[in-house]
Amino acid sequence: MSRETVLALLRAGGETYLSGEELSRQLGLSRAAVWKAVDALRREGYVVEARTGLGYRLVTAPDAMTEAEIRNFLGKTAVVGRTLKCFNELDSTNIRAKQLALEGAPDGTVVTADFQSAGRGRMDRSFQSPKGKGVYLTVLLRPHLPPERLLPVTAMAGVAVCDAVEELCGVRPGLKWPNDPVLGGKKLCGILTELSLEGETGRVQYLVLGMGVNVLHVAEDFSPEVAEMATSLSLALGHPVSRPALAAAEIRALDRLYASLLARDLTPYLAAYRRSCVNLGRTVQLISPDGSRETAQALDVDEDFSLVVRTASGAVKTVRSGEVSVRGMYGYTE
């Protein structure tokens, strides 16, 4: 606890030096305990300047996916993020969130990891999660809603990621149907929603919504299989982006999403999705799970966030994310 309290005081002090004596007095710690706390912070990557006769000053903080760093940017939320579990390494934030759900973790619990050894995306595809590069985050929700009311959650999460990136970076990604935020025609983020239902009643027990955003990745971080279609914020923008600041922006966006979902007010999300969908008005390929492809014109996104298309025969039909994937004619989005 002394490490956290010393860090909080150093943050509050800004550019002002705080003497060891003052820190000791405010915290009720010995000077030796203060020094040990400062030493621990330095080992974690914090740059703390010490000057004889002046005291200590926090110079820089690490780009760390820790609770202290995320909360430094977060502020107050209604539900999402009030409980925050941060891990250095996990197999998957979704897997850990489901374990926490069974252990009774509260509504809105957020799980983050600096590295995932078994990250997954839609259709059980692997999601690359190198250490120190991305924001890998899952929220556990316990909505008192029927399952059919939760079908739009993944698409809404795509809008939430776009909101968070725009808030922090001033650039709004597009959305490739059904739920992939994209920048420069390349995939920026993977989103995976998983739902647990009670067997006898069909009542929703919990929902976990996982998002992995590529932040500091360089080209070499992507495997050959995804290198042509993947990007990161630093690659697209040409400068680094704070991961804990982005995580905090995502949590705020998810908190707003959850409030809208419970209020059954999805209209703003549908409007934002339609504005951001890069497929509308374009010729696309509909790819079935068996690999077969069909060419169609993307016309609209309906109220369930399904894609309305016109096939080569002229027939208009609606396709859903569990039925097909969508690609451009000549690339990931184009």
For residue range 243-266, what is the model confidence (pLDDT) as tens digits? 999 999 999 999 999 999 999 999
CATH code of the domain occupying 283-328: 2.30.30.100
Q: Domain 2-60 is in which class?
A: mainly alpha
- Give CATH 2.30.30.100 domain extents, the chain: 283-328
Largest CA distance in the chain: 82
Report strand pairing: 47-51 vs 55-60: antiparallel
**CB–CB of 137/127 below 8 Å?**
no
- Helix 243-263 × helix 153-169 angle, to 10°: 140
Average pLDDT estimate for 191-219: 94
- Give CATH 1.10.10.10 domain extents, the chain: 2-60
Tokens standing for 300? 């609209």
**CB–CB of 37/3 below 8 Å?**
yes
CATH code of the domain occupying 67-276: 3.30.930.10
**All residues at 6 or more sequence positions from 285 whose CB lies less than 8 Å from its CB, including other chains:** 293, 294, 295, 296, 326, 327, 328, 329
Is the pLDDT at 1 greater than 90, yes or no? no
- Give pLDDT tens digits for 251-304: 999 999 999 999 999 999 999 999 999 999 999 999 998 889 999 999 999 999
Of the candidates 109, 193, 190, 211, the one whose C-alpha atom is nearest the C-alpha of residue 147 is: 193
